[in-house]
Amino acid sequence: MTTPQATAAAQPSGSVDDGLLNLLAQIVGAENLSTSAAVREQHGRDESYHPSSPPDAVVYCTETEQVAAVVKACAERGVPIIPFGTGTSLEGHVAALSGGICIDLSRMDKILTVNAEDMDVTVQAGVRRKALNDYLRDTGLFFPIDPGADASLGGMTATRASGTNAVRYGTMRENVLSLTVVMADGRIIRTARRARKSSAGYDLTRLFVGSEGTLGVITEVTLRLYGIPEAVLAAVCPFPDLESAVSTVILTIQSGIPVARIELLDEAQMDAVNKYSKLDYTVKPTLFFEFHGSDAGVREQVENVKAIAADFGADDFQWATKPEDRNKLWQARHDAYYAAIALRSGCRGIATDVCVPISKLAECILETRKDIDASGLCAPIVGHVGDGNFHIVFVVDPDNADEMKRAEDVNARMVMRAIALDGTCTGEHGVGYGKIDFLTAEHGEALVAMRAVKQALDPQNIMNPGKIIRI
Alpha-helical (H) ranges within 278-358 are 295-311, 323-334, 336-341
The answer to whether residue 380 is domain-embedded is yes
Same domain, 222 and 116: yes
Is the domain of 82 the same as that of 121? no
Q: What is the pLDDT of residues 125-147, one digit of tens each?
A: 999 999 999 999 999 999 999 99
- Select from 342, 354, 332 the least CA-distant residue to 395: 342
DSSP letter for 7, please. G
Q: Does residue 467 form part of some domain?
A: no
Residues near 343 by beta carbon (within 8 Å), at least 6 away in sequence: 268, 271, 272, 275, 378, 380, 395
Helices (H) and strands (E) in the chain, counts: 17, 18
Residue 51 forms part of a structural domain = yes
pLDDT of residue 14: 80
Region at 461 (left for phi over 0; alpha for psi -120 to 50; beta for the rest): left
Check which CATH number belongs to the domain holding 309 and give it.
3.30.70.2190
Give start and end residues of each alpha helix (H) in 148-292.
153-158, 166-169, 172-175, 204-208, 242-254, 267-277
Shared domain for 144 and 183, answered yes or no, is: yes
Start-to-end CA distance of the chain, whole Å, equals: 19
User: For the packed helices 64-77 and 18-28, what is the interaxial angle rounded to 10 degrees?
Assistant: 170
Q: Are residues 193 and 249 in the same domain?
A: no
Q: Are residues 332 and 246 in the same domain?
A: yes
Domain at 14, CATH number: 3.30.43.10
Same domain, 116 and 212: yes
Domain stops at, among 107, 134, 156: 107
- Domain finish residue from 338, 371, 406: 338
The DSSP H or E segment spanning 22 is helix 18-28
DSSP state of 450: H
Q: What is the pTM of this model?
A: 0.94
* Together in a domain, 115 and 213: yes
CATH number at 167 reads: 3.30.465.10
Q: How many residues does the chain have?
A: 471
What is the model's pLDDT at position 10? Answer: 56
Per the CB < 8 A criterion, the answer to whether 395 and 340 are in contact is yes
- Asked if residue 313 is part of any domain, the answer here is yes
Nearest to 268 by CA among 369, 184, 126: 369
Task: Say which CATH number the domain at 389 has.
Answer: 3.30.70.2740
Q: How far apart are CA 232 and CA 229, in angstroms?
A: 7
Q: Which of 362, 156, 337 is nearest to 252 (CA)?
A: 362
Per DSSP, the residues of 341-398 read HTTSTT-EEEEEEEE--GGGHHHHHHHHHHHHHHHT-B--EEE-GGGTEEEEEEEE-T
Q: Which of 238, 260, 231 is nearest to 318 (CA)?
A: 238
Asked if residue 128 and residue 78 are part of one domain, the reply reads no
% of the chain beyond a pLDDT of 70? 98
Q: Is residue 383 part of a domain?
A: yes
Biggest CA pair distance of the chain: 70
Residue 465 lies in a domain: no
Q: Could you tell me if 155 and 101 lie in one domain? A: no
Strands 33-34 and 389-396: unpaired
Domain total of the chain: 4
Same domain, 221 and 149: yes
**86 and 150 Cβ atoms separated by less than 8 Å:** yes
The answer on 238 and 323 residing in a single domain is yes
In a domain, 94, yes or no: yes
A 10 A CB-CB count for 79 gives 27
Q: Are residues 23 and 122 in the same domain?
A: no
Task: Show the domain range for 435.
Answer: 343-443
Q: What pLDDT score does 12 carry?
A: 78
Evaluate whether residue 327 is within a structural domain: yes
Distance CA(41)–CA(396), nearest Å, equals 23
Q: How far apart are CA 348 and CA 1, in angstroms?
A: 14
Please give the helix or strand (H or E) that residue 469 lies within, else none: none
Residue among 222, 177, 184, 223 nearest 203 (CA): 177
Mode of pairing for the β-strands spanning 33-34 and 111-115 = unpaired
Q: Which positions of the chain have pLDDT values less than 70? A: 1-10
Domain boundary among 281, 309, 338: 338
